[in-house]
Amino acid sequence: MISRADAIAALSSEPFDVVVIGGGITGAGVALDAASRGYSVALVEKDDYASGTSSRSSKLVHGGLRYLQQFDLGLVREALLERQLMVALAPHLVRPLKMVVPAFGGARLDRVVAVGLNMYDVLSVEKIRRRRRRREGERDRDGEAVAEWSPERHRTISGEEVSELLPALAAREPTSGYLFYDCQADDARLVLTVLGEAERFGAICANRLEVTELVHAGAGDRETGVVVEDRAGGDRFTVRAQNVVNATGVWADRLRPEELHAAAEVPTIRPSRGTHIIVDRDRLPLDAGAIVPAGGGRTIFALPWLGSTLLGTTDNDFEGDIDHVCPPEEDVDYLLTAAGEFFATNLDFDDVAGAYAGVRPLISRSDAKKSVDISRKAELYETSSGLITITGGKLTTWRRMAKMTVDRLVEREDREAPCRTHEIPLGLAIDPAELPDVQGVPLGAKTALADRYGHAAREVLAIADERGEFAQPIVAGRPDLLAEAVFAARREQAGGVGDVLLRRTRLGLLAARELCAPASGAVERVARALAPEQGWDGARVAEEVERFRDEAREGGLAPGLGGTGGRAPARQGGAPRAGGGAPVLRGP
Ligand SMILES: Cc1cc2nc3c(=O)[nH]c(=O)nc-3n(C[C@H](O)[C@H](O)[C@H](O)COP(=O)(O)OP(=O)(O)OC[C@H]3O[C@@H](n4cnc5c(N)ncnc54)[C@H](O)[C@@H]3O)c2cc1C
């Protein structure tokens, strides 16, 4: 990406066809779609890219088996098609993931699950047939995507296979299981990659620019731009644009609330909080994902992710401050309990390597509904000033949401500009074997870099070659290199340590406890690597280290190390809830 300073210079001087508010996956998608159809595009993000919900998901690119229970077939089918397309467009970032539903004690596998998995297969298979037709030269009615990857049908597997895929479950001696497929990504990296592609098509993007007002040309006219406040200490200025797209997710009704609420047909956003925790792989080794029964008839996922194990999510209505969402103690406890019982192991707060929470921008048409039942469908609405708002939806369906938005722009301007995003590769995958060897770079780091950056991994390695220190891992034993901090500052508009640790790399989630430990020098090393890029002196480096520690505390990244996290409350009687047959908590 171009530097933030250059982006601001362009944003404050040039007029644009479209300004997109919000640098999550939806805004990034709209910027890419619009720019690739020939619009001049500006995108502004009030905090850091992906700092909202788009870095706090379960990281699944999936149809969502659960939505089948709600007979949301359209949503599942759409998401399954997108899932396959994402693997084709960004094979390094969006990867197939085996998922297992195990059974124990010789019990028959659940028939209801089988029905759901059959439907899941059928909804994907239809796409495969369509693709075959297209390969044979037949055009699809809507000219949709050509997908490369397609999952095998689900099947029944033996207890041994279940244990191989889920070593953490071996002690419970599973007797059989269902195996099916979904996909997984690094959500924040997906956002950064889509933004990078948008920029390739000419979009100008800048973070830490908060939209405080929309600008009218005159009564009844369309918006002619937005007023932004530079949260990095700069000026207020206007970004001039013919069209304004509000892609602010859970913040969507904060912009012009009076206008939105005056339109009777506009639904309300019901924020729903979801918490995840991360446990080191050696505590809970998984090579496939598992669906884990949890309290209250709900299930959670246990997923292998970036060498660790990710557990989540909770799903509860949220009425707190959406700018500061952190994992509450009871959510962490709920996840530890569910996983402890299922895997028949003792898990407690000391096992939590990191934790995070996010809020879903759910759309509600009826106050009586609970968040788990509210649709994950996207909603697009256009209000009196011409402002287009796109919200709801899923990480998986970002491209569809973007298409829907830009189709509306095209329609109202009577342009001829078909969507192209189904054929635009994202981030150019590269074989790690093609990357150069750089002295000091540990084994395995090249694969991790190729997975994260695709072709741009070459640039990271060139930085690693600048100084011996840059070739070293930020946290010992993890593949993330200090060079990535420098790359993040030079090429991805990272402005602080949190940007590097939370969203450019994901160490702030995977190794939060380690980073936050007083003896860890990792945060200081990142701050010192950023210093020459940002022009920081020694005092500023110390300030930035403290700023990250505050951010980690406020975000509850390391439960048990202070802040809003804290230790698990003693459970009454210490007995496990149904299903696990094992003690749940080791302490406190
Ligand atoms: C716990 C949880 C788990 C999930 N798991 C999955 C999953 O596994 N798979 C899946 O497909 N989906 C999942 N989702 C849903 C998915 O994460 C979201 O639908 C998606 O990330 C929303 O993206 P967005 O861009 O619309 O919103 P956001 O990512 O929140 O982006 C909106 C952006 O707008 C910015 N903004 C707000 N106001 C302003 C302003 N005034 N000026 C400038 N910028 C502003 C914010 O800072 C923010 O960065 C999950 C969601 C949650 C909460």
DSSP string, 484-503: HHHHHHHHS---SHHIIIII
Count how many Cα atoms sit within 13 Å of the Cα of residue 261 in the half-sphere of its side chain. Answer: 7
Q: Is any ligand 1 atom within 6 A of the Cβ of residue 194?
A: no
Q: Is any ligand 1 atom within 6 A of the Cβ of residue 357?
A: no
| Ligand 1 atom at shortest distance from the alpha carbon of 210 | 42
Task: Return the H-helix or E-strand segment holding 293.
Answer: strand 289-293
> Which of the given ranges, 149-153, 165-169, 292-296, has the highest pLDDT on average?
165-169
Q: Is any ligand 1 atom within 6 A of the Cβ of residue 21?
A: yes
The CA 265 to ligand 1 mean position distance, Å, reads: 23
- The residue among 499 and 129 whose pLDDT is bigger is 499
Range of weakest confidence among 146-150, 386-390, 447-451: 146-150
Q: What is the mean pLDDT of residues 108-126?
A: 86
pLDDT tens across 5-58, in order? 999 999 999 999 999 999 999 999 999 999 999 999 999 999 999 999 999 999
Q: What is the mean pLDDT of residues 414-425?
A: 96
| Ligand 1 atom at shortest distance from the alpha carbon of 392 | 19
| Ligand 1 atom at shortest distance from the alpha carbon of 273 | 53
Q: Is any ligand 1 atom within 6 A of the Cβ of residue 253?
A: no
CATH class of 69-184+271-363: alpha beta
Using CA atoms, how far apart are residues 12 and 88, in angstroms rounded to an integer?
A: 37
Give, using CA atoms, the residue closest to atom 21 of ligand 1: 54
The CA 25 to ligand 1 mean position distance, Å, reads: 7
Q: Is any ligand 1 atom within 6 A of the Cβ of residue 116?
A: no
Q: For position 363, what pLDDT does the model report?
A: 72
Looking at 204-304, list the stretches that DSSP marks H as alpha helix, in order from N- to C-terminal side: 257-262
Listed in sequence order, the residues at least 6 apart from 179 whose beta carbon sits closer than 8 Å to its beta carbon are 98, 99, 100, 154, 155, 156, 157, 161, 165, 288
User: Quick one: pLDDT band at residue 135, thresholds 50, 70, 90?
Assistant: low
| Ligand 1 atom at shortest distance from the alpha carbon of 228 | 42
| Ligand 1 atom at shortest distance from the alpha carbon of 209 | 43
Q: Looking at the domain 432-554, which fold is it? A: Helicase, Ruva Protein; domain 3 (1.10.8)
Q: For position 583, what pLDDT does the model report?
A: 23
* Shared fold status for 4-54+188-267+369-423 and 432-554: no
> Which of the given ranges, 19-33, 241-255, 362-376, has the highest pLDDT on average?
19-33
The CA 59 to ligand 1 mean position distance, Å, reads: 12
The CA 582 to ligand 1 mean position distance, Å, reads: 37
Q: Is any ligand 1 atom within 6 A of the Cβ of residue 45?
A: yes
Q: Is any ligand 1 atom within 6 A of the Cβ of residue 23?
A: yes
Using CA atoms, how far apart are residues 511 and 430, in angstroms rounded to an integer?
A: 27
Q: Is any ligand 1 atom within 6 A of the Cβ of residue 271?
A: no
**Length of the chain counted residue by residue:** 588
The CA 399 to ligand 1 mean position distance, Å, reads: 14
Residue of 51, 58, 189 best suited for mutating to test ligand 1, as the one with most atoms within 8 Å of CB:
58
The CA 467 to ligand 1 mean position distance, Å, reads: 37
Q: Which two structure tokens, joined as six digits, stand for 224?
A: 């002619």
Q: Is any ligand 1 atom within 6 A of the Cβ of residue 496?
A: no
Q: Is any ligand 1 atom within 6 A of the Cβ of residue 46?
A: yes
Q: Which of these, 43, 71, 88, 53, lies nearest to 395 by C-alpha position?
A: 53
Respond yes or no on whether the N-terminal peptide bond of residue 345 is cis (omega within 30° of 0).
no
Q: Which two structure tokens, joined as six digits, stand for 59?
A: 């990281």
Q: For position 561, what pLDDT does the model report?
A: 62
Q: Is any ligand 1 atom within 6 A of the Cβ of residue 249?
A: yes
Q: Domain map of the chain by residue range?
A: 4-54+188-267+369-423, 69-184+271-363, 432-554
Q: For position 519, what pLDDT does the model report?
A: 83
Give the chain's end-to-end CA distance (angstroms, integer): 47
- The residue among 75 and 6 whose pLDDT is bigger is 6
314 beta partners: none
pLDDT tens across 487-544, in order? 999 999 999 999 999 999 999 999 999 998 888 899 999 999 999 999 999 999 999 9
Give, using CA atoms, the residue closest to atom 41 of ligand 1: 211
The CA 395 to ligand 1 mean position distance, Å, reads: 8
Q: Is any ligand 1 atom within 6 A of the Cβ of residue 500?
A: no
For a pLDDT cut of 70, what percent of the chain falls above it?
A: 86
Give, using CA atoms, the residue closest to atom 35 of ligand 1: 22
Where b means 16+ CB within 10 Å and e means fewer, 558-569 reads bbbbebbbebbe
Q: What is the mean pLDDT of residues 539-565?
A: 84
The CA 389 to ligand 1 mean position distance, Å, reads: 14
Q: Is any ligand 1 atom within 6 A of the Cβ of residue 394?
A: yes
Residue of 19, 251, 315 best suited for mutating to test ligand 1, as the one with most atoms within 8 Å of CB:
251
pLDDT tens across 181-237, in order? 999 999 999 999 999 999 999 999 999 999 999 997 665 566 589 999 999 988 999
Burial-class residue 296 by CB neighbours within 10 Å (0-12, 13-18, 19+). exposed
Q: For position 129, what pLDDT does the model report?
A: 53
Using CA atoms, how far apart are residues 349 and 560, in angstroms rounded to an integer?
A: 6
Using CA atoms, how far apart are residues 494 and 486, in angstroms rounded to an integer?
A: 9
| Ligand 1 atom at shortest distance from the alpha carbon of 315 | 1
Listed in sequence order, the residues at least 6 apart from 364 whose beta carbon sits closer than 8 Å to its beta carbon are 267, 268, 269, 270, 374
Give, using CA atoms, the residue closest to atom 50 of ligand 1: 57
Q: What is the mean pLDDT of residues 84-89?
A: 94
The CA 268 to ligand 1 mean position distance, Å, reads: 16
Superfamily designation of domain 4-54+188-267+369-423? FAD/NAD(P)-binding domain (3.50.50.60)
Using CA atoms, how far apart are residues 471 and 450, in angstroms rounded to an integer?
A: 15
CB 322 within 8 A of CB 559: no
Q: Which two structure tokens, joined as six digits, stand for 421?
A: 């995003």
Q: For position 329, what pLDDT does the model report?
A: 94
Residue 324 above 60 pLDDT?
Answer: yes
CB 274 within 8 A of CB 357: yes
The CA 7 to ligand 1 mean position distance, Å, reads: 23
User: Quick one: pLDDT band at residue 562, thresholds 50, 70, 90?
Assistant: low
The CA 554 to ligand 1 mean position distance, Å, reads: 19
Q: Is any ligand 1 atom within 6 A of the Cβ of residue 383?
A: no
Q: For position 262, what pLDDT does the model report?
A: 67
Q: Is the dihedral of CA 230, 235, 236, 241 positive or negative?
A: negative
Q: For position 365, what pLDDT does the model report?
A: 59
Phi then psi for 555, rounded to 5 degrees?
-80, -5
| Ligand 1 atom at shortest distance from the alpha carbon of 360 | 53
The CA 367 to ligand 1 mean position distance, Å, reads: 22
